[in-house]
Amino acid sequence: MGTKRDVKAGDSMEQVQVLSGVIAIGLLLLFGVSYFRERRQLRNGVWLNGFFIAGGIWLLTSAWGSGNPWLLVPVLLVDGLLVLALLLGIYGVIIFLLYNAHQVWRREAHSLTNLLGLLLAIGLSGLVVWQALIFGDVLPPPLMLLFSFVPVLVGYAFLNFWNYLTISLVYQLHRPRYRQQAIVVLGAGLLNGTEISGLLASRIKRGVTFYQKQIEKGRPAPLLVFSGGQGPDEKLPEALAMQRYAVEQLQVPEKDTAVELQSTNTRQNMAFSARLIQQRFGPRYRAIFVSNGYHIFRAGLLARQVGFNAQGIGAHTAGYFLPNAFLREFAAIMVLHKRLHLRVAAVVVSLAIIQCLLALA
């Protein structure tokens, strides 16, 4: 009997190994084709993360089936760490977000967008308390069923964030060739209405560095397009301040620059800059855009939406600012697809209400 069970278990393990391997290869090929055809889409993250999951299952079943401890122990160790991270990770995330919120509070303006990390930490703390009340049988069953949508929606948001974060980091690995006709540098708010901030300076320097390297390789100088209009608290358009900084501080010839002065958000940055470039170089132009690394994937999504055929390169951002910045970008991307997410939320909440009503009936 034991031998038959062992044989059946071995056959099942082998089937899982083969199936997971086939799925992993298929998802990797799908990711490769999709990514190199169009880098600026969220579905690329779905294929890549699916490959990681299927590949992980294949690796585990292969190590287990081999019986080789040199293969099995490392795989089990990694899997154990992943399980531990899932079980205890929320507490680590809360502590990290609170620490990071303190750093941002000390160094940045006290705006709502700079408090996203703190707000998330408070929300996750509330979820931990709520789950403790549920496991402690403190709440009546109908109330537990009514609010069962909360952890489901939190999980849904986490999966979306993980997908966005994965493909955003992969997108930053792209290195365009030094044969561009135009480099669009995206604007950001000016300090005291006229001064270039450190964040904006990093974007300008990144664009100028690419410009200089292309010239060093013996290629024609690309046009540096500075894109940004004038905000209500600014004394001049961002593009003019950026152009002045590049010419006076970084010794870029003014003839190699252009300004786009009308845009007030990233979508307009892309649309108006594309129009300027098309007028200068025609419809078959070669262009890239520059922003901070955390921002270039969403900027790429918006560029695709307005028909601007350009990929992004990222400028350096201070490490303490990145968690809050990625949260802000994720929130903006969720808003881009708000109809889909609202439909999902409506279905989940409706199911929770139905469960509650059935329990009361």
The answer on 24 and 143 residing in a single domain is: no
Assigned domain for 75 exists: no
| SS (HEC) of the chain | CHHHHHHHHHHHHHHHHHHHHHHHHHHHHHHHHHHHHCCCCCHHHHHHHHHHHHHHHHHHHHHHHHCCHHHHHHHHHHHHHHHHHHHHHHHHHHHHHHHHHHHHHHHCCCCHHHHHHHHHHHHHHHHHHHHHHHHCCCCCHHHHHHCCHHHHHHHHHHHHHHHHHHHHHHHCCCCCCCCCCEEEEECCCCECCCECCHHHHHHHHHHHHHHHHHHHCCCCCCEEEEECCCCCCCCCCHHHHHHHHHHHHCCCCHHHEEEECCCCCHHHHHHHHHHHHHHHHCCCCCEEEEEEHHHHHHHHHHHHHCCCCEEEEEECCCHHHHHHHHHHHHHHHHHHCHHHHHHHHHHHHHHHHHHHHHHHC
Query: How far apart, in whole angstroms, are the C-alpha atoms of residue 119 and residue 278?
Result: 43
The answer on 201 and 91 residing in a single domain is: no
The answer on 205 and 147 residing in a single domain is: no
Assigned domain for 249 exists: yes
pLDDT at 329 over 80: yes
Looking at residue 4, its pLDDT comes to: 55
The answer on 155 and 111 residing in a single domain is: yes
Which tens digits make up the pLDDT trace of 49-86? Answer: 999 999 988 888 887 776 666 666 776 777 677 777 66
Looking at residue 236, its pLDDT comes to: 92
Crossing angle of the two packed helices 338-360 and 149-171, in degrees rounded to 10: 160
The answer on 103 and 11 residing in a single domain is: no
Instruction: State phi, psi for 39 to the nearest 5 degrees.
Output: -70, -25
Looking at residue 280, its pLDDT comes to: 94
Whole-prediction pTM: 0.87
Q: How many CB atoms lie within 10 A of CB 209?
A: 14
pLDDT at 178 over 90: yes
Looking at residue 211, its pLDDT comes to: 96
The answer on 224 and 110 residing in a single domain is: no
- What's the mean pLDDT when you consider all of the chain? 89
Token reading at 8? 């059946």
The answer on 208 and 271 residing in a single domain is: yes
CA 127 to chain centre: 24
- Select from 288, 313, 294, 190 the least CA-distant residue to 244: 190
Token reading at 235? 């004394």
212 forms beta bridges with none
Domain span at residue 61?
A: 2-67
Give the total number of structural domains in the chain.
3
The answer on 313 and 266 residing in a single domain is: yes
Assigned domain for 177 exists: no
The answer on 186 and 167 residing in a single domain is: no
Q: How confident is the model at residue 9 (pLDDT cuts 50, 70, 90)?
A: low
Assigned domain for 7 exists: yes
Looking at residue 67, its pLDDT comes to: 67
Looking at residue 87, its pLDDT comes to: 64
Assigned domain for 78 exists: no
- Select from 293, 312, 292 the least CA-distant residue to 302: 312
Which tens digits make up the pLDDT trace of 190-233? Answer: 888 888 988 999 999 999 999 999 999 999 999 999 999 998 88
- Please give the average per-residue pLDDT across 103-127, as a whole number: 86
